[in-house]
Amino acid sequence: MHPERSQTDEELLQTVIAQLAGRDVLLVDDCAEDREKYALWLAAAGARIEQTSTLAGARRAFGTRPWAALVVDRLLPDGDALAWLTREASTRASIPPCVVVSGDLDAKTYRSVYDIGAVPVPKQHMLHRDVLIAAISSAWRFASQPPKTDPLQAVLANPLMARRPRRSNGEP
């Protein structure tokens, strides 16, 4: 157990990990090293993983099954995944719970990610399995919130995210 975590946090993580067992997760990232790292973490939780490195691959896989979660790198070699997800969100009742990972998340991008019902995570924070698990948990919580819920509040309501230190400007 990580020394800064209370037992409650570890129990919450284990609950989310148990909920991933047997569920389908789509990983979209052009960095093979990151994609493999995320896949190992999720497979260890029992999730069934499909991986792709391109937006075209994500588009092909998107409608093939009901995804428990999407983990998507924002900028891919063949396009902007956030723009694609925004189009999907505008033409469907909802998109699957989604985590958008990016190396350059500014305030406008954070808002755009939240506006489609997804959870933004800076790539530099994805150094540990628990960050990915907490982000998926937040995406699930956000997806289960009634419409018009402030997405930031939905994320902060997640006990796994609420204890994370905040920057002086309030951003995660």
Residue range 103-112, pLDDT digits in tens: 888 889 988 9
Comparing CA positions, the residue from 64, 89, 95, 77 lying closest to residue 28 is 77
pTM of full prediction above 0.85: no
The class level of CATH for 8-162 reads: alpha beta
Pairing status of strand 48-52 against strand 24-28:
parallel
Domain boundaries, the chain: 8-162
Pairing status of strand 79-80 against strand 75-76:
antiparallel
Pairing status of strand 48-52 against strand 69-73:
unpaired
The residue count of the chain comes to: 172
Q: For the segment 67-84, what is each residue's pLDDT rounded down to a tens digit?
A: 999 999 999 999 999 999
